[in-house]
């Protein structure tokens, strides 16, 4: 089985490969009021995987009013260089582990 190493856009230019890169941290979300904040990113996108539905916010504070995201199959989010991402469990979700990585 071969791996795809590059894809071309409609103009024939090679697209960058999008894949999880350097880890920005892993955290345990034990209850709806616990949060995890990543390390700052040096790229402009992050990959987040969590075993539950979570609230996501850029910065060091996340609340129930921040967007709920289903990251159980992994998600890519755009971010600002140097930003941190905070996540918290959505109300009613079981304890979960979250992983956040830079995108390369």
> CB of 44 within 8 A of CB of 79?
yes
pLDDT for residue 5 = 43
> Hey, what are 77's tokens?
């989010």
pLDDT in tens, the chain (104 residues): 334 444 555 676 665 656 778 999 999 999 878 899 999 999 888 899 999 999 999 999 999 999 899 998 888 888 889 999 999 999 999 999 999 999 87
pLDDT for residue 1 = 35
Per the listing, tokens 């079981």 go with 94
pLDDT for residue 6 = 46
What global pTM score does this model have? 0.78
Backbone angles phi, psi at 68, to 5 degrees: -80, 140
């Amino acid at each position: 089985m071969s791996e795809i190493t590059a894809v071309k856009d409609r103009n024939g230019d090679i697209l960058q490969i999008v894949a999880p890169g350097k880890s920005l941290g892993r955290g345990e979300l034990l209850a709806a009021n616990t949060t995890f904040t990543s390390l700052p990113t040096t790229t402009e996108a992050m990959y987040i995987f969590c075993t539950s539905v979570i609230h996501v916010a850029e910065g060091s504070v996340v609340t129930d009013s921040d967007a709920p995201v289903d990251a159980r199959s992994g998600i890519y989010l755009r971010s600002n260089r140097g930003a941190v991402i905070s996540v918290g469990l959505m109300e009613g979700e079981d304890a979960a582990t979250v992983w956040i990585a830079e995108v390369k």
